[in-house]
Structure 1
Protein backbone atom coordinates (compact mmCIF):
# COMPACT_ATOMS: atom_id res chain seq x y z
CA UNK A 1 0.00 0.00 0.00
CA UNK A 2 2.88 2.36 0.80
CA UNK A 3 4.40 1.61 -2.60
CA UNK A 4 1.11 2.51 -4.31
CA UNK A 5 0.94 5.77 -2.35
CA UNK A 6 4.59 6.58 -3.12
CA UNK A 7 3.98 6.13 -6.85
CA UNK A 8 0.82 8.26 -6.83
CA UNK A 9 2.52 11.10 -4.90
CA UNK A 10 6.01 10.89 -6.43
CA UNK A 11 5.83 14.47 -7.74
CA UNK A 12 4.94 15.87 -4.30
CA UNK A 13 6.93 16.63 -1.19
CA UNK A 14 5.37 15.74 2.17
CA UNK A 15 4.77 19.42 2.89
CA UNK A 16 2.89 20.16 -0.33
CA UNK A 17 0.21 17.44 -0.15
CA UNK A 18 -3.25 18.87 0.53
CA UNK A 19 -6.51 17.33 1.68
CA UNK A 20 -7.81 17.71 -1.88
CA UNK A 21 -4.84 15.71 -3.20
CA UNK A 22 -5.64 12.87 -0.80
CA UNK A 23 -9.32 12.97 -1.74
CA UNK A 24 -8.45 12.86 -5.45
CA UNK A 25 -6.16 9.87 -4.87
CA UNK A 26 -8.92 7.90 -3.17
CA UNK A 27 -11.53 8.90 -5.74
CA UNK A 28 -9.36 8.11 -8.76
CA UNK A 29 -8.26 4.70 -7.51
CA UNK A 30 -10.93 3.33 -5.19
CA UNK A 31 -14.21 4.98 -6.18
CA UNK A 32 -16.08 1.64 -6.07
CA UNK A 33 -13.90 -0.08 -3.47
CA UNK A 34 -15.10 1.52 -0.28
CA UNK A 35 -13.36 -0.73 2.21
CA UNK A 36 -10.03 -0.42 0.37
CA UNK A 37 -10.39 3.36 0.21
CA UNK A 38 -10.79 3.52 3.98
CA UNK A 39 -7.71 1.36 4.48
CA UNK A 40 -5.63 3.61 2.24
CA UNK A 41 -6.92 6.68 4.05
CA UNK A 42 -5.73 5.16 7.34
CA UNK A 43 -2.27 4.47 5.90
CA UNK A 44 -2.06 8.04 4.59
CA UNK A 45 -3.12 9.38 7.96
CA UNK A 46 -0.37 7.39 9.72
CA UNK A 47 2.27 8.50 7.21
CA UNK A 48 1.46 12.17 7.76
CA UNK A 49 1.24 11.68 11.52
CA UNK A 50 4.78 10.30 11.40
CA UNK A 51 5.95 13.20 9.22
CA UNK A 52 4.59 15.65 11.81
CA UNK A 53 5.63 14.09 15.11
CA UNK A 54 8.84 12.30 14.15
CA UNK A 55 10.22 14.25 11.19
CA UNK A 56 8.79 17.74 11.66
CA UNK A 57 8.12 18.09 7.93
CA UNK A 58 4.73 19.72 8.38
CA UNK A 59 2.41 20.84 11.19
CA UNK A 60 -0.98 19.55 10.06
CA UNK A 61 -2.40 16.24 8.86
CA UNK A 62 -4.26 16.65 5.54
CA UNK A 63 -6.21 13.46 6.24
CA UNK A 64 -7.90 14.93 9.33
CA UNK A 65 -10.33 16.82 7.09
CA UNK A 66 -10.98 13.99 4.62
CA UNK A 67 -14.65 13.39 3.94
CA UNK A 68 -15.02 9.60 3.79
CA UNK A 69 -18.81 9.56 3.81
CA UNK A 70 -18.85 8.29 0.20
CA UNK A 71 -16.73 5.30 1.19
CA UNK A 72 -18.92 3.80 3.88
CA UNK A 73 -18.93 0.02 3.59
CA UNK A 74 -22.43 -0.91 2.54
CA UNK A 75 -24.04 -4.11 3.63
CA UNK A 76 -25.29 -6.30 0.79
CA UNK A 77 -28.68 -7.52 1.94
CA UNK A 78 -29.11 -10.36 -0.56
CA UNK A 79 -28.85 -13.81 0.98
CA UNK A 80 -29.29 -16.91 -1.20
CA UNK A 81 -31.88 -19.50 -0.27
CA UNK A 82 -30.54 -23.03 0.05
CA UNK A 83 -33.29 -24.21 -2.30
CA UNK A 84 -32.21 -21.67 -4.94
CA UNK A 85 -28.58 -22.82 -4.82
CA UNK A 86 -29.70 -26.45 -5.13
CA UNK A 87 -31.90 -25.59 -8.12
CA UNK A 88 -29.03 -23.77 -9.88
CA UNK A 89 -26.68 -26.64 -9.09
CA UNK A 90 -29.09 -29.22 -10.54
CA UNK A 91 -29.84 -27.11 -13.63
CA UNK A 92 -26.12 -26.92 -14.44
CA UNK A 93 -26.17 -30.58 -15.52
CA UNK A 94 -28.87 -30.25 -18.19
CA UNK A 95 -28.84 -27.74 -21.05
CA UNK A 96 -31.77 -26.04 -22.76
CA UNK A 97 -31.83 -28.90 -25.28
CA UNK A 98 -32.46 -31.37 -22.48
CA UNK A 99 -29.06 -33.02 -22.97
CA UNK A 100 -26.30 -33.32 -20.35
CA UNK A 101 -23.81 -30.45 -20.34
CA UNK A 102 -20.08 -31.24 -20.45
CA UNK A 103 -18.96 -28.56 -17.97
CA UNK A 104 -21.91 -29.21 -15.62
CA UNK A 105 -20.20 -31.68 -13.23
CA UNK A 106 -17.12 -29.46 -12.86
CA UNK A 107 -19.33 -26.40 -12.35
CA UNK A 108 -21.03 -28.25 -9.50
CA UNK A 109 -17.61 -28.79 -7.92
CA UNK A 110 -16.78 -25.09 -8.29
CA UNK A 111 -20.16 -24.24 -6.77
CA UNK A 112 -19.72 -26.58 -3.80
CA UNK A 113 -16.17 -25.59 -2.91
CA UNK A 114 -16.67 -21.86 -2.06
CA UNK A 115 -19.40 -22.77 0.41
CA UNK A 116 -17.15 -25.35 2.08
CA UNK A 117 -13.90 -23.36 2.18
CA UNK A 118 -15.41 -19.82 2.37
CA UNK A 119 -13.08 -18.39 -0.27
CA UNK A 120 -13.80 -16.04 -3.17
CA UNK A 121 -14.57 -17.34 -6.65
CA UNK A 122 -11.19 -16.30 -8.04
CA UNK A 123 -9.33 -18.22 -5.32
CA UNK A 124 -11.41 -21.35 -5.99
CA UNK A 125 -11.43 -21.37 -9.79
CA UNK A 126 -7.63 -20.83 -9.85
CA UNK A 127 -6.94 -23.37 -7.10
CA UNK A 128 -3.81 -25.37 -7.90
CA UNK A 129 -3.45 -29.02 -6.97
CA UNK A 130 -0.13 -28.10 -5.35
CA UNK A 131 -2.07 -26.05 -2.78
CA UNK A 132 -3.71 -29.25 -1.54
CA UNK A 133 -1.67 -30.78 1.26
CA UNK A 134 -2.28 -33.94 3.29
CA UNK A 135 -4.74 -32.41 5.73
CA UNK A 136 -5.38 -28.86 4.49
CA UNK A 137 -5.68 -26.57 1.50
CA UNK A 138 -3.42 -23.52 1.60
CA UNK A 139 -5.07 -20.34 0.37
CA UNK A 140 -3.44 -16.97 -0.20
CA UNK A 141 -6.63 -14.90 -0.60
CA UNK A 142 -6.30 -12.53 -3.55
CA UNK A 143 -8.32 -9.88 -1.73
CA UNK A 144 -5.72 -9.54 1.03
CA UNK A 145 -2.62 -10.13 -1.13
CA UNK A 146 -1.92 -6.40 -1.36
CA UNK A 147 -2.88 -5.53 2.21
CA UNK A 148 -2.50 -7.97 5.11
CA UNK A 149 -1.00 -10.77 2.97
CA UNK A 150 -2.85 -13.34 5.03
CA UNK A 151 -2.34 -17.04 4.36
CA UNK A 152 -5.05 -19.46 5.42
CA UNK A 153 -4.91 -23.24 5.78
CA UNK A 154 -8.38 -24.78 5.53
CA UNK A 155 -8.67 -28.24 7.02
CA UNK A 156 -9.81 -30.86 4.50
CA UNK A 157 -13.07 -32.18 5.89
CA UNK A 158 -14.75 -35.29 4.45
CA UNK A 159 -17.03 -33.05 2.35
CA UNK A 160 -14.12 -31.02 0.98
CA UNK A 161 -12.24 -34.24 0.25
CA UNK A 162 -15.24 -35.55 -1.68
CA UNK A 163 -15.31 -32.43 -3.90
CA UNK A 164 -11.57 -32.73 -4.58
CA UNK A 165 -11.96 -36.38 -5.59
CA UNK A 166 -14.94 -35.57 -7.84
CA UNK A 167 -12.93 -32.89 -9.65
CA UNK A 168 -9.95 -35.22 -10.10
CA UNK A 169 -12.24 -37.96 -11.44
CA UNK A 170 -13.70 -35.55 -14.01
CA UNK A 171 -10.21 -34.58 -15.18
CA UNK A 172 -9.26 -38.24 -15.42
CA UNK A 173 -12.41 -39.07 -17.39
CA UNK A 174 -11.61 -36.44 -20.03
CA UNK A 175 -7.84 -37.07 -19.82
CA UNK A 176 -7.21 -33.46 -18.83
CA UNK A 177 -3.69 -32.62 -17.72
CA UNK A 178 -3.76 -29.37 -15.78
CA UNK A 179 -2.22 -27.83 -12.65
CA UNK A 180 -5.68 -26.48 -11.75
CA UNK A 181 -8.02 -28.63 -9.70
CA UNK A 182 -11.12 -27.22 -11.41
CA UNK A 183 -9.89 -26.99 -14.98
CA UNK A 184 -11.68 -26.40 -18.25
CA UNK A 185 -11.73 -29.06 -20.97
CA UNK A 186 -8.64 -27.37 -22.42
CA UNK A 187 -6.74 -27.52 -19.14
CA UNK A 188 -6.88 -23.87 -18.15
CA UNK A 189 -8.55 -22.20 -15.22
CA UNK A 190 -12.11 -20.98 -15.64
CA UNK A 191 -12.22 -17.25 -16.29
CA UNK A 192 -14.39 -14.85 -14.34
CA UNK A 193 -16.66 -14.31 -17.34
CA UNK A 194 -16.82 -18.03 -18.07
CA UNK A 195 -17.87 -18.88 -14.53
CA UNK A 196 -20.45 -16.10 -14.40
CA UNK A 197 -21.83 -17.18 -17.78
CA UNK A 198 -22.36 -20.74 -16.52
CA UNK A 199 -23.95 -19.38 -13.35
CA UNK A 200 -26.30 -17.11 -15.31
CA UNK A 201 -27.41 -19.84 -17.72
CA UNK A 202 -27.97 -22.39 -14.96
CA UNK A 203 -29.87 -19.79 -12.97
CA UNK A 204 -32.15 -19.08 -15.94
CA UNK A 205 -32.81 -22.79 -16.56
CA UNK A 206 -33.58 -23.25 -12.87
CA UNK A 207 -36.11 -20.42 -12.99
CA UNK A 208 -34.41 -18.62 -10.10
CA UNK A 209 -35.33 -14.95 -10.22
CA UNK A 210 -33.61 -13.88 -6.99
CA UNK A 211 -30.91 -11.25 -7.38
CA UNK A 212 -28.30 -13.63 -6.02
CA UNK A 213 -24.76 -13.73 -7.33
CA UNK A 214 -22.02 -16.35 -7.15
CA UNK A 215 -20.14 -14.23 -4.60
CA UNK A 216 -23.11 -14.44 -2.22
CA UNK A 217 -22.04 -17.99 -1.33
CA UNK A 218 -19.52 -16.49 1.11
CA UNK A 219 -22.26 -14.62 2.93
CA UNK A 220 -24.42 -17.75 3.00
CA UNK A 221 -21.81 -19.96 4.65
CA UNK A 222 -20.85 -17.22 7.14
CA UNK A 223 -24.50 -16.72 8.05
CA UNK A 224 -25.11 -20.47 8.38
CA UNK A 225 -22.07 -20.75 10.64
CA UNK A 226 -23.30 -17.88 12.82
CA UNK A 227 -26.74 -19.49 13.06
CA UNK A 228 -25.07 -22.73 14.14
CA UNK A 229 -23.46 -20.89 17.05
CA UNK A 230 -19.88 -20.63 15.80
CA UNK A 231 -17.86 -17.83 17.39
CA UNK A 232 -17.40 -14.60 15.42
CA UNK A 233 -13.63 -14.93 15.83
CA UNK A 234 -13.67 -18.34 14.12
CA UNK A 235 -15.80 -16.98 11.27
CA UNK A 236 -13.47 -13.99 10.87
CA UNK A 237 -10.44 -16.31 10.67
CA UNK A 238 -12.08 -18.52 8.04
CA UNK A 239 -12.98 -15.51 5.89
CA UNK A 240 -9.40 -14.17 6.25
CA UNK A 241 -10.73 -10.79 7.39
CA UNK A 242 -8.45 -8.38 9.22
CA UNK A 243 -11.31 -6.81 11.18
CA UNK A 244 -14.49 -8.10 12.76
CA UNK A 245 -16.39 -5.21 11.18
CA UNK A 246 -15.90 -6.69 7.72
CA UNK A 247 -17.01 -10.10 8.98
CA UNK A 248 -20.26 -8.65 10.29
CA UNK A 249 -21.03 -7.42 6.77
CA UNK A 250 -20.87 -11.00 5.52
CA UNK A 251 -23.24 -12.26 8.23
CA UNK A 252 -26.62 -11.34 6.79
CA UNK A 253 -28.90 -12.43 9.61
CA UNK A 254 -28.69 -10.90 13.05
CA UNK A 255 -28.50 -13.69 15.61
CA UNK A 256 -30.67 -12.60 18.54
CA UNK A 257 -29.62 -13.24 22.11
CA UNK A 258 -31.92 -15.36 24.25
CA UNK A 259 -33.40 -13.83 27.37
CA UNK A 260 -34.84 -16.43 29.74
CA UNK A 261 -35.59 -14.49 32.93
CA UNK A 262 -38.50 -16.09 34.78
CA UNK A 263 -40.04 -13.40 36.98
CA UNK A 264 -43.04 -13.95 39.22
CA UNK A 265 -45.70 -11.28 39.63
CA UNK A 266 -45.36 -10.01 43.21
CA UNK A 267 -49.02 -9.09 43.31
Structure 2
Protein backbone atom coordinates (compact mmCIF):
# COMPACT_ATOMS: atom_id res chain seq x y z
CA UNK A 1 0.00 0.00 0.00
CA UNK A 2 1.40 3.37 -1.03
CA UNK A 3 1.71 6.13 1.56
CA UNK A 4 -0.20 9.38 1.00
CA UNK A 5 3.15 11.20 0.70
CA UNK A 6 3.99 9.03 -2.35
CA UNK A 7 0.98 10.34 -4.30
CA UNK A 8 0.47 13.60 -6.20
CA UNK A 9 -2.00 16.23 -5.06
CA UNK A 10 -5.69 15.31 -5.17
CA UNK A 11 -4.96 11.59 -5.68
CA UNK A 12 -6.05 9.05 -3.07
CA UNK A 13 -6.30 5.28 -2.65
CA UNK A 14 -9.78 4.02 -1.88
CA UNK A 15 -11.32 0.55 -2.19
CA UNK A 16 -8.27 -0.85 -3.98
CA UNK A 17 -8.06 1.87 -6.62
CA UNK A 18 -6.44 5.25 -7.30
CA UNK A 19 -8.93 8.14 -7.37
CA UNK A 20 -8.60 11.78 -8.43
CA UNK A 21 -10.67 14.28 -6.43
CA UNK A 22 -11.71 17.64 -7.86
CA UNK A 23 -13.73 20.36 -6.16
CA UNK A 24 -16.85 21.49 -8.03
CA UNK A 25 -18.38 24.17 -5.84
CA UNK A 26 -19.24 22.61 -2.50
CA UNK A 27 -19.14 19.11 -3.94
CA UNK A 28 -16.25 16.75 -4.60
CA UNK A 29 -16.01 14.82 -7.86
CA UNK A 30 -14.21 11.47 -7.56
CA UNK A 31 -12.75 10.03 -10.77
CA UNK A 32 -11.34 6.51 -10.79
CA UNK A 33 -7.89 6.37 -12.39
CA UNK A 34 -6.95 2.69 -12.21
CA UNK A 35 -6.67 -0.27 -9.85
CA UNK A 36 -4.06 0.12 -7.11
CA UNK A 37 -2.45 -3.17 -8.14
CA UNK A 38 -1.64 -1.63 -11.56
CA UNK A 39 0.99 0.52 -9.82
CA UNK A 40 2.14 4.12 -9.93
CA UNK A 41 3.11 4.22 -13.66
CA UNK A 42 -0.45 3.30 -14.70
CA UNK A 43 -1.85 5.83 -12.23
CA UNK A 44 0.34 8.63 -13.60
CA UNK A 45 -0.66 7.81 -17.19
CA UNK A 46 -4.35 7.86 -16.28
CA UNK A 47 -3.87 11.10 -14.34
CA UNK A 48 -2.09 12.69 -17.30
CA UNK A 49 -4.92 11.64 -19.62
CA UNK A 50 -7.51 13.08 -17.25
CA UNK A 51 -5.75 16.39 -16.80
CA UNK A 52 -5.06 16.81 -20.52
CA UNK A 53 -8.63 16.30 -21.75
CA UNK A 54 -9.35 20.03 -21.95
CA UNK A 55 -5.86 21.10 -23.00
CA UNK A 56 -4.48 22.09 -26.38
CA UNK A 57 -2.75 19.27 -28.24
CA UNK A 58 0.63 21.00 -28.04
CA UNK A 59 0.46 22.05 -24.38
CA UNK A 60 3.28 20.58 -22.32
CA UNK A 61 0.96 18.64 -19.94
CA UNK A 62 -0.87 17.14 -22.96
CA UNK A 63 2.42 16.38 -24.72
CA UNK A 64 3.69 14.59 -21.60
CA UNK A 65 0.50 12.53 -21.35
CA UNK A 66 0.82 11.50 -24.99
CA UNK A 67 4.50 10.64 -24.55
CA UNK A 68 3.75 8.44 -21.54
CA UNK A 69 1.16 6.60 -23.64
CA UNK A 70 3.14 6.31 -26.88
CA UNK A 71 6.75 5.99 -25.66
CA UNK A 72 6.91 5.56 -21.90
CA UNK A 73 4.54 2.59 -21.97
CA UNK A 74 7.15 0.59 -23.92
CA UNK A 75 9.74 0.90 -21.15
CA UNK A 76 10.33 -1.56 -18.32
CA UNK A 77 8.21 -1.19 -15.17
CA UNK A 78 11.15 0.22 -13.22
CA UNK A 79 11.84 2.81 -15.95
CA UNK A 80 8.13 3.65 -16.22
CA UNK A 81 8.08 4.51 -12.52
CA UNK A 82 11.04 6.88 -13.00
CA UNK A 83 9.44 8.34 -16.15
CA UNK A 84 6.17 8.97 -14.33
CA UNK A 85 7.82 10.85 -11.47
CA UNK A 86 10.12 12.94 -13.67
CA UNK A 87 7.41 13.91 -16.16
CA UNK A 88 5.12 14.85 -13.29
CA UNK A 89 7.71 17.34 -12.00
CA UNK A 90 8.36 18.65 -15.51
CA UNK A 91 4.65 18.97 -16.19
CA UNK A 92 4.21 21.13 -13.10
CA UNK A 93 7.21 23.28 -14.06
CA UNK A 94 6.01 23.84 -17.64
CA UNK A 95 2.25 23.80 -16.99
CA UNK A 96 1.67 27.11 -18.79
CA UNK A 97 3.86 26.35 -21.81
CA UNK A 98 3.09 25.04 -25.25
CA UNK A 99 5.74 22.78 -26.75
CA UNK A 100 6.73 25.40 -29.33
CA UNK A 101 7.30 28.03 -26.61
CA UNK A 102 9.99 26.18 -24.65
CA UNK A 103 13.41 27.83 -25.07
CA UNK A 104 16.86 27.08 -23.66
CA UNK A 105 16.62 29.79 -20.93
CA UNK A 106 13.37 28.22 -19.69
CA UNK A 107 15.08 24.85 -19.39
CA UNK A 108 18.07 26.39 -17.62
CA UNK A 109 15.75 28.05 -15.11
CA UNK A 110 13.93 24.77 -14.47
CA UNK A 111 17.19 22.84 -13.96
CA UNK A 112 18.57 25.34 -11.41
CA UNK A 113 16.84 23.46 -8.59
CA UNK A 114 18.99 20.41 -9.32
CA UNK A 115 22.44 22.01 -9.55
CA UNK A 116 23.53 20.48 -6.25
CA UNK A 117 22.61 17.01 -7.58
CA UNK A 118 24.47 16.46 -10.87
CA UNK A 119 22.97 13.05 -11.63
CA UNK A 120 19.43 14.28 -11.01
CA UNK A 121 20.15 17.41 -13.08
CA UNK A 122 21.36 15.28 -16.00
CA UNK A 123 18.38 12.92 -15.70
CA UNK A 124 15.88 15.80 -15.98
CA UNK A 125 17.87 17.34 -18.81
CA UNK A 126 17.72 14.02 -20.65
CA UNK A 127 13.96 13.70 -20.12
CA UNK A 128 13.32 17.25 -21.34
CA UNK A 129 15.46 16.58 -24.40
CA UNK A 130 13.38 13.47 -25.15
CA UNK A 131 10.10 15.36 -24.73
CA UNK A 132 11.29 18.08 -27.11
CA UNK A 133 12.34 15.39 -29.60
CA UNK A 134 8.84 13.95 -29.34
CA UNK A 135 7.39 17.42 -29.90
CA UNK A 136 9.37 17.65 -33.15
CA UNK A 137 8.10 14.21 -34.13
CA UNK A 138 4.52 15.35 -33.56
CA UNK A 139 5.06 18.50 -35.63
CA UNK A 140 4.80 20.89 -32.69
CA UNK A 141 8.38 22.15 -33.20
CA UNK A 142 10.48 22.63 -36.31
CA UNK A 143 13.09 19.87 -36.87
CA UNK A 144 16.46 20.71 -35.34
CA UNK A 145 15.08 23.19 -32.80
CA UNK A 146 15.46 21.10 -29.66
CA UNK A 147 16.34 23.72 -27.00
CA UNK A 148 18.10 21.19 -24.77
CA UNK A 149 20.76 20.22 -27.32
CA UNK A 150 22.86 23.30 -26.60
CA UNK A 151 22.83 22.81 -22.81
CA UNK A 152 25.75 21.04 -21.17
CA UNK A 153 25.42 18.14 -18.80
CA UNK A 154 26.90 18.47 -15.31
CA UNK A 155 30.06 16.58 -14.48
CA UNK A 156 29.48 13.71 -12.07
CA UNK A 157 32.12 12.15 -9.88
CA UNK A 158 33.01 8.56 -10.69
CA UNK A 159 31.73 6.16 -8.05
CA UNK A 160 34.68 4.49 -6.32
CA UNK A 161 32.86 2.36 -3.76
CA UNK A 162 34.26 -1.17 -3.52
CA UNK A 163 32.52 -3.74 -1.31
CA UNK A 164 35.12 -5.85 0.48
CA UNK A 165 34.67 -9.59 1.02
CA UNK A 166 34.22 -8.95 4.74
CA UNK A 167 31.53 -6.33 4.08
CA UNK A 168 29.73 -8.69 1.71
CA UNK A 169 29.55 -11.34 4.42
CA UNK A 170 28.25 -8.80 6.94
CA UNK A 171 25.62 -7.58 4.48
CA UNK A 172 24.34 -11.13 4.00
CA UNK A 173 24.11 -11.62 7.76
CA UNK A 174 22.24 -8.32 8.05
CA UNK A 175 19.78 -9.44 5.38
CA UNK A 176 19.22 -12.90 6.83
CA UNK A 177 18.81 -11.97 10.49
CA UNK A 178 16.66 -9.29 12.09
CA UNK A 179 17.47 -7.17 15.12
CA UNK A 180 16.10 -9.94 17.33
CA UNK A 181 18.65 -12.39 15.95
CA UNK A 182 16.00 -14.49 14.24
CA UNK A 183 16.06 -15.32 10.54
CA UNK A 184 13.86 -13.03 8.46
CA UNK A 185 11.26 -14.53 6.07
CA UNK A 186 12.80 -12.88 3.01
CA UNK A 187 16.42 -13.24 4.14
CA UNK A 188 17.47 -16.53 2.47
CA UNK A 189 16.11 -15.58 -0.96
CA UNK A 190 17.56 -12.04 -0.91
CA UNK A 191 20.92 -13.46 0.18
CA UNK A 192 20.80 -15.73 -2.87
CA UNK A 193 20.02 -12.69 -5.02
CA UNK A 194 23.04 -10.85 -3.58
CA UNK A 195 25.27 -13.88 -4.15
CA UNK A 196 24.00 -14.24 -7.73
CA UNK A 197 24.68 -10.54 -8.40
CA UNK A 198 28.27 -10.96 -7.27
CA UNK A 199 28.97 -14.28 -9.00
CA UNK A 200 27.49 -13.26 -12.35
CA UNK A 201 28.09 -9.48 -12.38
CA UNK A 202 24.61 -8.84 -13.80
CA UNK A 203 22.24 -5.98 -13.06
CA UNK A 204 19.40 -6.30 -10.55
CA UNK A 205 16.72 -5.92 -13.24
CA UNK A 206 18.18 -8.80 -15.26
CA UNK A 207 18.50 -11.01 -12.19
CA UNK A 208 14.91 -10.39 -11.08
CA UNK A 209 13.62 -11.33 -14.55
CA UNK A 210 15.80 -14.47 -14.59
CA UNK A 211 13.89 -17.65 -15.51
CA UNK A 212 14.67 -21.28 -14.73
CA UNK A 213 14.75 -22.01 -18.48
CA UNK A 214 17.88 -19.85 -18.74
CA UNK A 215 19.83 -22.22 -16.49
CA UNK A 216 21.41 -25.03 -18.52
CA UNK A 217 24.18 -27.56 -18.39
CA UNK A 218 26.74 -25.06 -19.71
CA UNK A 219 25.85 -22.31 -17.26
CA UNK A 220 23.37 -19.44 -16.89
CA UNK A 221 22.42 -17.41 -19.96
CA UNK A 222 21.55 -13.73 -19.63
CA UNK A 223 20.14 -11.30 -22.19
CA UNK A 224 20.96 -7.93 -20.56
CA UNK A 225 18.06 -5.52 -20.93
CA UNK A 226 20.38 -2.64 -21.79
CA UNK A 227 21.78 -4.45 -24.85
CA UNK A 228 18.46 -5.48 -26.39
CA UNK A 229 18.14 -2.34 -28.51
CA UNK A 230 21.86 -2.01 -29.29
CA UNK A 231 24.26 -4.95 -29.59
CA UNK A 232 21.76 -7.63 -28.53
CA UNK A 233 24.64 -9.53 -26.95
CA UNK A 234 23.99 -12.46 -24.62
CA UNK A 235 26.19 -13.54 -21.72
CA UNK A 236 26.75 -17.15 -20.68
CA UNK A 237 28.16 -17.43 -17.16
CA UNK A 238 29.90 -20.78 -16.91
CA UNK A 239 29.64 -23.02 -13.88
CA UNK A 240 31.93 -22.78 -10.88
CA UNK A 241 31.54 -24.82 -7.65
CA UNK A 242 30.25 -21.74 -5.81
CA UNK A 243 27.68 -20.96 -8.51
CA UNK A 244 26.52 -24.58 -8.56
CA UNK A 245 26.00 -24.53 -4.79
CA UNK A 246 24.01 -21.31 -5.10
CA UNK A 247 21.66 -22.75 -7.74
CA UNK A 248 21.21 -25.88 -5.61
CA UNK A 249 20.09 -23.67 -2.71
CA UNK A 250 17.64 -21.86 -4.97
CA UNK A 251 16.18 -25.16 -6.19
CA UNK A 252 15.53 -26.13 -2.58
CA UNK A 253 13.00 -23.31 -2.21
CA UNK A 254 9.46 -24.48 -2.83
CA UNK A 255 7.45 -21.98 -4.86
CA UNK A 256 4.31 -22.19 -6.90
CA UNK A 257 5.95 -20.00 -9.54
CA UNK A 258 8.04 -22.35 -11.68
CA UNK A 259 9.04 -19.66 -14.16
CA UNK A 260 11.05 -17.06 -12.25
CA UNK A 261 14.03 -17.87 -10.04
CA UNK A 262 13.75 -15.11 -7.44
CA UNK A 263 10.33 -15.25 -5.81
CA UNK A 264 8.69 -14.36 -2.52
CA UNK A 265 7.21 -16.94 -0.20
CA UNK A 266 3.83 -16.67 -1.95
CA UNK A 267 5.44 -17.59 -5.27
CA UNK A 268 5.22 -14.09 -6.77
CA UNK A 269 8.41 -12.79 -8.33
CA UNK A 270 10.31 -10.10 -6.48
CA UNK A 271 9.89 -6.55 -7.69
CA UNK A 272 12.87 -4.20 -7.90
CA UNK A 273 11.56 -2.00 -5.11
CA UNK A 274 10.89 -5.01 -2.86
CA UNK A 275 14.37 -6.43 -3.35
CA UNK A 276 16.08 -3.06 -2.83
CA UNK A 277 14.06 -2.44 0.34
CA UNK A 278 15.25 -5.76 1.77
CA UNK A 279 18.81 -4.88 0.71
CA UNK A 280 18.66 -1.52 2.49
CA UNK A 281 17.36 -3.13 5.67
CA UNK A 282 20.31 -5.53 5.58
CA UNK A 283 22.77 -2.67 5.14
CA UNK A 284 21.30 -0.86 8.13
CA UNK A 285 21.56 -3.92 10.35
CA UNK A 286 25.14 -4.53 9.17
CA UNK A 287 26.07 -0.89 9.80
CA UNK A 288 27.52 -0.43 6.32
CA UNK A 289 26.90 3.05 4.80
CA UNK A 290 27.21 4.46 1.28
CA UNK A 291 26.52 1.18 -0.51
CA UNK A 292 24.15 0.49 -3.39
CA UNK A 293 23.01 -2.76 -4.97
CA UNK A 294 24.77 -1.81 -8.19
CA UNK A 295 28.07 -1.80 -6.28
CA UNK A 296 27.86 -5.60 -6.39
CA UNK A 297 28.29 -5.46 -10.16
CA UNK A 298 31.31 -3.19 -9.71
CA UNK A 299 32.79 -5.62 -7.16
CA UNK A 300 32.27 -8.55 -9.53
CA UNK A 301 33.92 -6.84 -12.51
CA UNK A 302 36.72 -5.52 -10.30
CA UNK A 303 37.50 -8.97 -8.92
CA UNK A 304 37.37 -10.57 -12.38
CA UNK A 305 39.70 -7.87 -13.72
CA UNK A 306 42.18 -8.52 -10.89
CA UNK A 307 42.15 -12.29 -11.34
CA UNK A 308 41.60 -12.85 -15.07
CA UNK A 309 42.09 -9.48 -16.75
CA UNK A 310 40.01 -6.72 -18.30
CA UNK A 311 38.90 -8.85 -21.27
CA UNK A 312 37.05 -11.32 -19.05
CA UNK A 313 35.54 -8.46 -17.06
CA UNK A 314 34.35 -6.91 -20.33
CA UNK A 315 32.71 -10.19 -21.38
CA UNK A 316 30.96 -10.56 -18.03
CA UNK A 317 29.67 -6.98 -18.21
CA UNK A 318 28.48 -7.43 -21.83
CA UNK A 319 30.26 -4.20 -22.70
CA UNK A 320 31.10 -3.31 -26.29
CA UNK A 321 34.25 -1.43 -25.23
CA UNK A 322 36.80 -1.74 -22.44
CA UNK A 323 36.18 1.91 -21.60
CA UNK A 324 32.69 0.94 -20.41
CA UNK A 325 34.14 -1.82 -18.24
CA UNK A 326 36.76 0.54 -16.80
CA UNK A 327 33.96 2.71 -15.38
CA UNK A 328 32.99 -0.19 -13.12
CA UNK A 329 36.45 -1.35 -12.06
CA UNK A 330 37.43 -0.09 -8.61
CA UNK A 331 41.12 0.05 -7.80
CA UNK A 332 41.46 -1.21 -4.23
CA UNK A 333 45.10 -0.15 -4.08
CA UNK A 334 47.28 2.18 -6.11
CA UNK A 335 48.10 0.99 -9.61
CA UNK A 336 51.70 -0.23 -9.52
CA UNK A 337 54.20 0.44 -12.27
CA UNK A 338 57.92 1.06 -12.72
CA UNK A 339 59.77 4.27 -13.45
CA UNK A 340 60.43 5.15 -17.10
CA UNK A 341 64.13 4.26 -16.74
Structure 1-normalised TM-score? Answer: 0.68
Cα offset for 1:89? Answer: 0.1
* Mapped partners of 1:211, 1:241: distance in 2: 26
- Paired position in structure 2 for 1:88: 171
Provide Cα deviations, 1:168-214, integer angstroms capped at 9, x if missing partner: 1022xxx5443111211121221111111111111111122x20111
Task: Work out which of the residue numbers 205, 217, 242 in structure 1 matches 2:320.
Answer: 242
Larger fraction in strand:
2
- Paired position in structure 2 for 1:189: 269
- Contact preservation (8 Å) 2:177, 2:184: yes
Cα offset for 1:137? Answer: 1.1
* Mapped partners of 1:133, 1:257: distance in 2: 40
- Paired position in structure 1 for 2:301: 222
Cα offset for 1:257? Answer: 4.1
Cα offset for 1:98? Answer: 2.8
- Contact preservation (8 Å) 1:223, 1:252: yes
Structure 2-normalised TM-score? Answer: 0.55
With over 3 angstroms needed to count, the CA separation of the structure-2 counterparts of 1:68 and 1:135, relative to structure 1, is farther
The SS at the match of 2:262 is coil
- Contact preservation (8 Å) 2:319, 2:325: yes
The SS at the match of 1:70 is coil
* Mapped partners of 2:156, 2:323: distance in 1: 10
Cα offset for 1:149? Answer: 1.8
- Paired position in structure 1 for 2:282: 202
* Mapped partners of 1:255, 1:234: distance in 2: 21
Gapped runs of 5+ residues in structure 2?
A: 1-66, 72-102, 112-118, 134-143
Aligned residues: 222
The SS at the match of 2:300 is helix
- Paired position in structure 2 for 1:113: 196
* Mapped partners of 1:77, 1:115: distance in 2: 17
With over 3 angstroms needed to count, the CA separation of the structure-2 counterparts of 1:223 and 1:68, relative to structure 1, is farther
Provide Cα deviations, 1:50-71, integer angstroms capped at 9, x if missing partner: xxxxxxxxxxx999xx557416
